[in-house]
A and B are shown apart, each in its own frame.
Chain A
Amino acid sequence: MSPRRHLALPLAAVILVGLPVFWAFPEDLAFWRSVAIVCGWLGWGLLLVSLLLMIRESWLAEWMGGLERMYRWHHRSGTLAYLVLLLHPLALSVDAWSEAPSLAWPALSPLRNSLAVQLGWASLLAMMLGLALAFSRALAYDKWRWLHLSLAAAVVLAILHLVYLGLDDWLLWVPAAAIALMLWRFLRSDSGQAAHPYVVTRVDHPAHALIEVSLRPLATAITARPGQFVLAAFADAPSWKGFGEYHPFSLSRIGKDGEIAMGIKALGDCTTRLQHVQCGFAARVQGPFGAFLADAGATPGLWVAGGIGITPFLALLRARPLTQPTRLIYLYRESADAAYIGELNEIAAGQDSLSLVALATGASDPDIERLIPDPSGLAGCDCYLCGPPGLLDSVIGILAARGVAASRIHFERFDFR
């Protein structure tokens, strides 16, 4: 990752957190009251960081080091904001206690305070509920996604808390920025204003429960490179109910005429229904996102793909011949799941630099240690991994144990929860 991409996110975080804390930093106040004020504005700064990092714009993701990194820090900054904001009422209570112990509970209790304080409590409780749901793995994605909106309600309540406290000076930019970021996300991403219109031109079935959908642009095409993914939504068609929500799909082909293709594996309700998509159906595409494989091919490579994780590697192999020796380990469960295996064999046969190891693992865990080269074979290699989380964790552990530096292990987890 370039220094610019590496530094942009922490720099934006420092600015968004530092500005409100600096402006509101208390002087001549009791210690615990100062702590409460600093915690309040620190929490607000972290909330702004979290809101900024939920924006899905390809140029922003490019600046911030990728959408996956943005989402990882969106989770971290949101949780940290909540933890810091928990200290805000407690510090006010300690401040009241230092004046008189009998004032501690009245200062904290929402039942004995003004509407402003009650709104603050409501915001904190909505945040508590929203985060508890956000951390839930048991919820189906569509339910999880809607319940995640309770966190937006928490931000609105926090804004009302500030307004009813009487905040109406320069610091109003903080709630104004929060509203702007939420509107940006809703209008540009969720309602699809940032999306490009496409039409389905071809549907292939390269493996069991897997389709490859080719899309032609109806207006401006996205400019993507191999290894990237897009967020796509498919509109309703006669006799077929589409999906208005956007899901991530890796690109498997990038045509010169703007046509793109993506592999869609039936993994959930939406992707199962998408197996029946047909030519002529309308789609909307946001992106592209991701920097996976951006530097691939410059050095000898070890590529490890699990199942549908073969898609980004296929996109690169379809785009250009390899110039450096590369070993591609392709793992799938059964031979019926071996998507694109015929095409991959053909490409490997035509390129001396590509060595393909394709293996059906069956129901048992594959013996990955045996497949990974020994330390001498990994010297100077850049390792690219794409597949299920369990496979990634195993391979990363083996590579680290064999002396591969973390900077030479590249992967994207595609976990947007």
Chain B
Amino acid sequence: MMRVAFTVGTGLFCVAVLLVWLFSPPPSPTIEAPQPILPASRIPLAEVSRHGQADDCWMAIEGKVYDLTPYLPLHPTKPGIIVPWCGQEASEAYRTKTRGRPHSAEAGELLEKYLIGQLAE
């Protein structure tokens, strides 16, 4: 019975992946467009605060500004934990997440992918 379940389950999974590939339309240019702001740009906190929504989420962390909009769906915690920090200076929250412990080095490497500029003093 388990062999049948494995075969049927694997077949249905492959069909489902194929269907998503076939019927998911290509992303609109606005979503795929490169960020207009270069990582070397200097961004004031006032500009960061204008991006305080889940669908437009910038954060200032340790003097750098990140556009975390595409990352939010991938973050392992509940949105209620990370979304309130959108548009904020979030260094303290980044350093002291669960029970006061900092994020891992891997999280730091991941964060750099979303860098869009330096925080202007």
Task: List chain A positions with a Cβ less than 8 A from chain B.
Answer: 26-29, 33, 75-76, 79-80, 82-83, 86, 90, 93, 95-97, 101-109, 113-114, 116-117, 128, 131-132, 135, 163-169
Q: Are A93 and B20 in contact (CB under 8 A)?
A: yes
Decide if B26 is an interface residue (CB 8 Å cutoff): yes
User: Which residues of chain A are near B20, meaning CB under 8 Å?
Assistant: 90, 93, 97, 104-105, 108
Decide if B74 is an interface residue (CB 8 Å cutoff): yes
Q: Are B9 and A86 in contact (CB under 8 A)?
A: yes
User: Which residues of chain A are near B107, meaning CB under 8 Å?
Assistant: 166
**25 A–B pairs (Cβ distance < 8 Å), ordered by A:** A27-B80, A29-B79, A33-B73, A79-B2, A80-B5, A82-B6, A83-B5, A83-B6, A83-B9, A86-B9, A86-B10, A90-B16, A90-B20, A101-B24, A101-B25, A103-B27, A104-B24, A116-B74, A117-B74, A131-B6, A132-B10, A135-B3, A135-B6, A166-B104, A168-B101
Number of chain B residues close to chain A: CB under 8 A: 34
Decide if B40 is an interface residue (CB 8 Å cutoff): no
B42 to chain A, nearest CB (A): 27
User: Which residues of chain A are near B75, meaning CB under 8 Å?
Assistant: 166
User: Which residues of chain A are near B31, meaning CB under 8 Å?
Assistant: 102-103
Find the B residue at minimum CB distance from A137: B3
Q: Are A169 and B3 in contact (CB under 8 A)?
A: no
User: Which residues of chain A are near B23, meaning CB under 8 Å?
Assistant: 101, 104
Find the A residue at minimum CB distance from B107: A166
Q: Tell me the B17-71 residues at the A interface (CB within 8 Å).
A: 17, 20-21, 23-28, 31
Find the B residue at minimum CB distance from A128: B10
Decide if B120 is an interface residue (CB 8 Å cutoff): no
Find the A residue at minimum CB distance from B75: A166
Q: Are A108 and B17 in contact (CB under 8 A)?
A: yes
Given A29-B79, A131-B6, 5 other A-B residues pairs in contact with their CB atoms under 8 A: A90-B20, A101-B25, A102-B28, A105-B24, A166-B106
Bound-complex Cα distance A90 to B21 (A): 12
Q: Are B9 and A106 in contact (CB under 8 A)?
A: no
B113 to chain A, nearest CB (A): 8
User: Which residues of chain B are near A86, meaning CB under 8 Å?
Assistant: 9-10, 13
A79 to chain B, nearest CB (A): 4
Find the B residue at minimum CB distance from A165: B76
User: Which residues of chain A are near B113, meaning CB under 8 Å?
Assistant: 114
B6 to chain A, nearest CB (A): 5
User: Which residues of chain A are near B103, meaning CB under 8 Å?
Assistant: 166
Query: What sequence of 0s and 1s flags, for each residue 71-92 of chain B, a beta carbon within 8 Å of any chain A beta carbon?
Result: 0011110111000000000000
Whether A75 touches B2, Cβ cut-off 8 Å, given contacts A29-B78, A90-B13, A102-B28, is: yes
